[in-house]
Amino acid sequence: MTPFLIHRLTTNIYKKLTKLEPYKKDHWQRLGEIYIQAQKFAEAIPAYEKAAEIDPGDIRIWEVLKDLYSGSNMPDKAQQAEAKMQELKKL
């Protein structure tokens, strides 16, 4: 199986999982990781945003979002993600 087919298959699986269990952060996070691996950063952002919505206390999600926003020329959102990270580090 080619890497393209593997990516397509895993993307479809996790898209279905996010529809079946939209409240599970791990599904959204894994979908975002799959998009990042494929260098589809614009698609990764909404998946990680949904994961952050489900678990706003997970600093790792905010770190990834900060990097995604920075790389996508979204400095305001990158700054907001950084601020959230700093807030969580104080807890």
Q: How far apart are CA 21 and CA 34, in angstroms?
A: 18
What is the value of pTM for the model shown? 0.94
pLDDT tens-digit series, residues 65-75: 999 999 999 99
Query: Exposed/middle/buried for 43, CB within 10 Å: 0-12, 13-18, 19+?
Result: middle
Domain with 21 in it: 3-89
Number of domains in the chain: 1
pLDDT tens-digit series, residues 17-39: 999 999 999 999 999 999 999 99
User: What CATH number is attached to the domain comprising 24?
Assistant: 1.25.40.10
pLDDT tens-digit series, residues 46-58: 999 999 999 999 9
At residue 91, the pLDDT reads 78
